[in-house]
Amino acid sequence: MEIIRSIDWMKQIAREAGLAQRISGFIPTMGALHEGHLSLVREAKRQCSPVAVSIFVNPTQFGPGEDLQKYPRNLECDCALLESLGVDYVFAPEAAEIYPRDFRSVIHVEGLSEKLEGRIRPGHFQGVCTIVLKLFEIVRPRFAYLGRKDAQQARIIRQMVRDLNLDAEIQVCPIVREADGLAMSSRNAYLDPPERQAATVLYRSLDAARRKLNSGARAAAEILDTVRSTASSEPLAKLDYVELVDADSFEPVDFVRAPTLLLIAARIGGTRLIDNLSIENAGAPQDFSVSL
């Protein structure tokens, strides 16, 4: 496995892979890798060769007062994990390499970027889209692997790929969870033991909604009430939002017709966590399946 620091060198490798008509797979990450990230790597390894992973804590997607400085960084440990999975290239540039002093361009996916996460974190998706476009240009993947954990991010990146005619094909992979349901996240490392216990409230709330759905509930008000009442039973949690939205437009829906997403964000102490439940079509129009 090669660890690459410079854009020029990564581009050179990508160019050679392209000329050899190889199917390159790519997983963009901010490091502090866990099983969620590794599941994306395994999926990429099944379909692609070579596989490249980027590790870059992207400053432009953090707002003022967010956790950029304290975001966990552990390149050595991350590289050991990636090497054990047979990754070919780790692209780990410095921030100054990616954003030189006179950097001026941004990518903004209108409409989708202002909702939900974008409402709470203004400019966040602009930072995400700009770095992802840059990384796609540098790494030139045929397939890029994203987690459904960040469902809005995946939807926005898909839109950017379509709008800008990018070559990368986006694959969205399932959410990997801890044994008690908590979605894996690098930010879980911030939680102290009582907060870690409380953090399961996101999963518990979505799971309560799943039970409602499976017992036939379809009205958004009823499903959202269930989520809110479960969430409010946890004193350490402060809900940022819970919304039931159309999976394409991300507009709120009154009534569940798949495909729909139930998205939740909450603060547990100083740590902000997100999770979601996906309602997908399954055969006949009225039939759907619920994925957590």
Catalytic positions, written as ranges? 37
Question: CB nearest ligand AMP: which residue?
Answer: 147
Report the residue number, 39 or 278, with the smaller CB distance to ligand AMP.
Answer: 39
Q: What are phi and psi of 272, to 5 degrees?
A: -100, 125
Q: Compute the least distance from the CB of residue 224 to ligand AMP, in Å.
A: 23
Report the residue number, 133 or 220, with the smaller CB distance to ligand AMP.
Answer: 133
Report the residue number, 145 or 220, with the smaller CB distance to ligand AMP.
Answer: 145
Letter string b/e over residues 108-122, b meaning 16 or more CB atoms within 10 A of that residue's CB: ebeebbebbbbeebe
Q: Compute the least distance from the CB of residue 101 to ligand AMP, in Å.
A: 25
Q: Compute the least distance from the CB of residue 35 to ligand AMP, in Å.
A: 7
**Locus of tokens 């909702």:** 115
- Nearest CA to 81 out of 21, 125, 30, 31 is that of 31
Report the residue number, 32 or 209, with the smaller CB distance to ligand AMP.
Answer: 32
Binding site for ligand AMP (CB under 6 A): 29-30, 36-37, 39-40, 146-147, 149-150, 173, 175-176, 183-186
Which residues make Cβ contacts (< 8 Å) with residue 1, sequence separation at least 6? 79, 82, 83, 87, 88, 89, 90
Radius of gyration of the chain (CA): 19
Q: Compute the least distance from the CB of residue 253 to ligand AMP, in Å.
A: 23
- Coil, helix or strand for 280? strand
What is the β-pairing status of strands 271-282 and 51-55?
unpaired
